């Protein structure tokens, strides 16, 4: 959700900052297959074949985050990718510390108007009884009644900001150009 907002905000602000969308086509990403495999794995684990938390499902989910983080680190010289890597690392840290689940605060879930989940299937975000590193979990919310109401983490905010910077950097926007000393 935050990624879509970040992309939309970048697209709207790009012309104002002198960015050129066609520049994004010439962006050379290293190891892009890693990001593709990571995203496909998450879709399969969470939606295509949902089910109970098993060792293989947990392993595949954590490995998908690790693969995405490797992709981001491989491209860290590009604008925004260090911020993206930091956001992904924080999310991976808290998810790993909580056996594959991003802990959500009950208050944030309530503010977003979401129903607490207890479906018995593997969930990527859930209210946990005793979460580890809870402050890095989904503790913030877009309130119920707003478009895209949901919960999100500090890592998610960094990912969104990183996407914004990456789009502006890739499009050679004035926001990301280095100024002469």
- Write out the chain's pLDDT in tens, 181 residues: 778 888 899 989 999 999 888 888 888 999 999 999 999 999 998 888 878 878 888 889 899 999 999 999 999 999 999 999 999 999 999 999 998 889 999 999 999 888 776 666 777 888 888 999 999 999 999 888 888 889 999 999 999 999 999 999 999 999 887 665 4
* Angle (CA) 32 35 37, round 5°: 110
User: What pLDDT is stored for residue 159 in this prediction?
Assistant: 95
Give 102's strand partners: 125
CA dist., res. 16 & res. 9, Å (int): 11
User: What pLDDT is stored for residue 120 in this prediction?
Assistant: 66
CA dist., res. 32 & res. 110, Å (int): 37
Contact status, residue 166 vs residue 12, Cβ threshold 8 Å: no
CA dist., res. 27 & res. 150, Å (int): 32
CA dist., res. 109 & res. 46, Å (int): 19
- How many other C-beta atoms are found inside a 10 Å radius of the C-beta of residue 160? 23
User: What pLDDT is stored for residue 119 in this prediction?
Assistant: 63
User: What pLDDT is stored for residue 118 in this prediction?
Assistant: 64
- How many other C-beta atoms are found inside a 10 Å radius of the C-beta of residue 19? 24
Give 150's strand partners: 142
User: What pLDDT is stored for residue 179 in this prediction?
Assistant: 60
Round to the nearest angstrom and report the end-to-end CA distance of the chain. Answer: 38
């Amino acid at each position: 959700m935050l990624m879509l907002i970040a992309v939309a905000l970048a697209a709207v602000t790009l012309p104002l900052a002198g960015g050129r969308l066609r520049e994004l086509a010439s962006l050379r990403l290293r190891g892009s297959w890693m990001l593709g495999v990571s995203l496909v794995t998450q879709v399969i684990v969470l939606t295509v074949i949902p089910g109970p938390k098993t060792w293989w499902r947990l392993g595949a989910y954590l490995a998908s985050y690790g693969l995405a983080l490797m992709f981001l680190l491989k491209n860290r010289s590009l604008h925004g990718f260090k911020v993206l890597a930091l956001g992904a690392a924080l999310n991976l840290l808290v998810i790993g510390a909580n056996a594959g689940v991003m802990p959500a605060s009950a208050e944030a879930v309530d503010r977003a108007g979401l129903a607490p989940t207890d479906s018995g299937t593997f969930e990527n975000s859930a209210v946990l009884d005793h979460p580890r590193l809870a402050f890095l979990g989904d503790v913030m919310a877009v309130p119920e009644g707003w478009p895209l109401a949901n919960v999100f983490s500090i890592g998610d905010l960094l990912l969104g900001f990183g996407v914004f910077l990456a789009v502006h950097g890739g499009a050679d926007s004035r926001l990301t150009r280095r100024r002469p000393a």
